[in-house]
Structure 1
Amino acid sequence: MAQYRIATIEGDGIGPEVTRAAMAVLTEACGAGALAFEMLEGGAGHYTKSGEVLPDDTFAGCRDADAILHGAAGLPGVVYPDGTEVGNDLHLRLRFRLDLYANVRPIKLLPGVLSPLRAFEGGGIDYVIVRENTEGLYASRGAGVVLRDEIASDSLVVTRKGTERVARFAFDLAAGRNGAPRDGQRRVTVCDKANILRSYAFFRRICDEVHAGYPDIAIDYAYADAITVHMLKRPDSYDVIVAENMFGDIISDLGAATVGGMGISPSGEIGDGHALFQGAHGSAPDIAGQNAASPIATILSGVMMLRWLGRRKVDAALVSAADRIEAAVGKVLAEGRAVPRDLGGAATCTEVTDAVRRALV
């Protein structure tokens, strides 16, 4: 039996609770011994004790592992001298040092979950946002300029290499999907502000060039302001959306809100050789230690991890386990067996976890 090393960072706040929940479900689905979780230190809490948010041995463990599973990071008031949050720096450092250039956020309405979009309460939302993860406005992280306490500036960076590879990732992803729910068309939508800024016009042009290699996949375009309207009015028209870093960050959270919120929204940060998976939510320190957090986002991030690892290692058992976990989550929610509090239920983190484990077939 193949065994895969999973670098695991519980992090801060609810991070330990949701991480352990995901580990329990993943182990149940894959069988004992298939996944070796290597527990590593890191995050804002570790920073307050050691002065390090990402220790060298933690980075080495992540670099050498088959995949990375992360809970959450960040604590109120734990900031650097420039005011930026320490917790975010954990996965940002991993992102840049391991070149995790594609941030993947599935936006899917799960069975039994009510969307705030009344027209889609019966389903029909199923698309993926692919956010360029190493460039854009966030490339200025740590390098912005403040002059005389009067002027502050950050630079937006778009390169040909960075855009080509994230666009290719998006088209490859679309090629393996079933298309948009509305018309079944495999489609990549480019989200930008090409009408205003040259950097975004360049981003769009490079996406067009990459599209030439994918004649069976449609391409369309949406300005970042307009897409926020379309994501609410006609979300079923989307299949895969590709965007610059900051725009992708913003619209990903909007998309999550339309399908139930951050507590059930998974994410993956993926490169050519490494990948990190974590729930899209924060560390929620106000409910930490109360067994009140929803583990679903982290469990579904584990599903993404198994699928990525299964494809990479050509291991059909991992892909099968991922499918079974996703089906179990859907069954638990649809039947109301254990509905977490953020979805209007009263189930604890433990109760949701146990229900998903029992629903595995």
Structure 2
Amino acid sequence: MNTQAKIKFVAIDKTLFFPTLKRRVEQHFIENHKSRYGNHSMGFKTIVLLAAYILPFVAILLIAPPFWISVFLWLLMGAAISGIGMSVMHDANHGAFSKNPIVNKWLGFTICLAGAGVSNWKWQHNILHHTYTNVANVDEDIKDRGVIKLSPHEHVKPAHRFQWIYAFFFYGILTLYWVLLKDFIQYANFIKSGLNPQTKRENLQMLAGMILMKLVYFGIFFALPTLIFHIPFGSILAGFLVMHFSAGLILTVIFQLAHSVEGTQYPLPNAEGIIQKDWAVHQMETTVNFSPRNKWLSWYIGGLNFQIEHHLFPKICHIHYPAIAPIVRKTAKEFGLHYMEHQTFWLAVKSHIATLKRFGMPRFDEGIV
């Protein structure tokens, strides 16, 4: 059984912070006669982002524009698929886009537009990341992969001293790695996990569906342009890599700014697998907001600049985060909790770079390995 199946949050001192906060947030929706799900603006955003992803590819196929225009179109597709992931797929797979579970299910499959599997994403994000935020060796978002050190509890390697310089390159290959390898690695880990509720037949069906999805994905991006529209393979490959690099860079940076910055905690369970902390307090201590007044950024990244609100209420659609943020801030202050926030995007980036530098230097009690 894997470690995460044993870890529990058990507070030494019980707190009424989260019950109080939940009551106040629920009262906000009741008093304002609002649903916690999305509204028509979410439908409009979905159409815009899907169009920004699909139409440039159609133009590449039908018009065959000059290479420099094609590169711009591939970049636009990368930005669009990032927006779809953060603003549409993310809410849908949390059950927050619509009160209709069928709508959430099908919009959740928009992750396939990036060539990634929805089941594996839910496993990594909804379970491992949201439950065990910033817990080393469990939270996939900070897990040691040798090249980049995102936790103070991993060993320092010589290259880590320069990770604040090269990390952003590796961020750019994240989605490509996910499409080619990570889905299969996570599938194997899921099968071995103590949290796998599926039968052997269901696991095989999941694997078959994932392989079929990837065959269709690569067929659309490579077989269709080269065999049907006679576009040179090299041109398509270059554009495909540009799209994925831009998408990977955007997605990874946005998620890193919420947890891998100065001030966040990285707690470890004790020998009994217990983290002596209330779960909601743990979320407050491991999560940071950024650029809360930038409405354009918030629109594009699906409210992920309000990560505190998202981690406490993942089943509330992101369009409501700006309205409930003052409630969270006020309640946190009443209970003596620090509501962490960077006022601008660039302050958050600077904080992340400082964190990469700090994690890249060996502590006094450890050597470089």
What's the TM-score once normalised by structure 1's chain length? Answer: 0.24
Larger radius of gyration: 2
Higher RCO (C-alpha under 8 Å, 6+ residues apart):
2
**Higher fraction of helix:** 2
**Higher fraction of strand:** 1
What's the TM-score once normalised by structure 2's chain length? Answer: 0.24
